[in-house]
Amino acid sequence: MYINGVYCQDYAVVFDTQIIEVGDVEIIKANYPDCFVEDLGAGSLLFPGFVNTHVHLEFSSNQTTLQYGSFVGWLESVLIAREEIIQGSTLEVIKGAMNAMLSSGVCAFGAISSYARELEALATTKQKVVFFNELIGSNPQSIDALYADFVRRIEESSCYPHITPAIAIHAPYSVHPVAIVKALRLAKEKNLLVSSHFMESRAEKEWLGGSYGEFKPFFEKYLGVSSSLCSKEEFLSLFRATPTHFTHATQIDEEDINTLKSYHHTIAHCPRSNRLLGSAPMPLAKIIEKEIAFSTATDGLSSNYSLNILDELRSALMIHSDIQLSTLADKLIESITKSANAILGLNGGVIEKGRDAHFVLLRLSNLPSQSALLSLWSILHNERASRVYVDGEVVFNKV
């Protein structure tokens, strides 16, 4: 059993919808003589439910529509095909995407939503959802209408017991600073979590750094704008009093890392999305060295080929060759359990008394020869979960 970064052998957990007690199986049996104790078998590993902090479900129908390989090329293809992809992302398609996450052990996720069209599908899931209503809009003439729609969606997403409303600022290059300030004030008033894409591509870095690079012709063509709304520093300063979950951060430098650390921000690391959209890998070794909390997340099917969180960890293992292998594997498991849970402010993430009873069962068919590599082997040898519990109930069983 994986407890707070340590693998404890021959442990048992007593639970209903929440965890009642955890400990050595013989002590648990003595303390609960009337309880049925299920032996999960040799090679079984019980983890807390996994958490995927960043996914765009409204774009789940994409497979071969959007252009991969360059961020600006991809963004252009999104502008062209957005309506087609959203129309194709039907209730069934979105349910399929959620089930794919569930079968990889994801018991809770952060859904980044542009239009709140996925709410109907989310209402049906047992998974816990933090629903990030996204604000986008840089044109002062249309920002009031966009802001009003954003506030309406926050209210709409507040009506479900398993869905926590939250706020997403799309990106530094796409939201007017005045609207950001307004949204952050609202977040403070309503105590809502905040997330934002940040420093995803070289194009974004150059545009914010001096209104040059690949974004210049893009902005001139689509928005008639020839300079950036704000610099990277001005953008970050808006979030000084709001610890925020920044997604991607592939282009951050030492100074940015220090700023993120001093404002208590966190990072969502989406390695496959970054690779597919032509970005360099995020400087994960630095993030770990500076002890900045990070999650590993899938992003949406608009920039990925699966929402399987174990697939994401396998890719991260292969990308970050500058980090010692077993250390990286341990950090990655932590990034989808304890860290991701804390980032989303949920009550899972750790197997301990009082937490919600969300569990993921993984299996190794050969008995491990040592415990130091258990995270690595768990990631490498489990394409999907063997079983998943949400609120103490089995919600997925591998056939």
CB of 338 to Zn ion, least distance (A): 22
CB of 197 to Zn ion, least distance (A): 6
* Contact range with Zn ion by CB under 5 A, out of 168-176, 199-207, 295-303, 362-370: 295-303
DSSP letter assigned to residue 58? G
389: tokens are: 């519990």
* Contact range with Zn ion by CB under 5 A, out of 89-97, 255-263, 291-299, 368-376: 291-299
Q: Find, among 299, 257, 309, the residue nearest to 277 by Cα.
A: 299
Q: Is 291 left (phi over 0), alpha (psi -120 to 50) or beta?
A: left
Q: Cβ closer to Zn ion: 112 or 310?
A: 112
* Contact range with Zn ion by CB under 5 A, out of 41-49, 75-83, 212-220, 296-304: 296-304
Q: Cβ closer to Zn ion: 157 or 274?
A: 274
Q: Cβ closer to Zn ion: 19 or 297?
A: 297
Cβ-closest position to Zn ion: 299
176 touches 137 (CB < 8 A): yes
Q: Which of residues 5-44 bind Zn ion (CB under 5 A)?
A: none
Catalytic residue selected from 118, 134, 200, 312:
200
| Cα distance between residue 281 and residue 248, in whole Å | 9
46 touches 40 (CB < 8 A): yes
Q: Is 10 left (phi over 0), alpha (psi -120 to 50) or beta?
A: left
Sheet holding 44-48, edge to edge: 44-48, 359-363, 387-390, 393-397
CB of 297 to Zn ion, least distance (A): 8
Q: Cβ closer to Zn ion: 312 or 356?
A: 312
Residues in the chain: 399
Sign of CA dihedral 244, 250, 254, 255: negative
CB of 54 to Zn ion, least distance (A): 6
* Contact range with Zn ion by CB under 5 A, out of 6-14, 69-77, 123-131, 293-301: 293-301
Q: Cβ closer to Zn ion: 184 or 249?
A: 249
C-alpha to C-alpha distances, 137 to 70, 118, 171, 177, nearest whole angstrom: 23, 21, 10, 10
| Cα distance between residue 193 and residue 196, in whole Å | 11
Q: Cβ closer to Zn ion: 299 or 334?
A: 299
Residue type, 158: S
Sign of CA dihedral 264, 270, 271, 276: negative
Show the site string, 298-327: x = touches Zn ion by CB under 5 A, - = not.
-x----------------------------
* Contact range with Zn ion by CB under 5 A, out of 176-184, 297-305, 346-354, 388-396: 297-305
Residues contacting Zn ion: total by CB under 5 A = 1
CB of 279 to Zn ion, least distance (A): 12
Sign of CA dihedral 146, 148, 149, 153: positive
Going through the chain in order, the beta strands assigned E by DSSP cover 2-3, 6-7, 11-15, 19-24, 44-48, 50-55, 106-113, 128-135, 163-169, 194-198, 245-248, 266-269, 294-296, 359-363, 387-390, 393-397
Q: Cβ closer to Zn ion: 171 or 395?
A: 171
CB of 303 to Zn ion, least distance (A): 7
Q: Cβ closer to Zn ion: 45 or 168?
A: 168
Give the residues across from 18 on adjacent strands.
356
Query: Would you call 38 a catalytic residue per the annotation?
Result: no
Burial of 111 (0-12, 13-18, 19+ CB in 10 A): buried
CB of 278 to Zn ion, least distance (A): 15
CB of 261 to Zn ion, least distance (A): 22
Residues with catalytic function: 200
User: Which residues contact Zn ion (rule: CB under 5 A)?
Assistant: 299
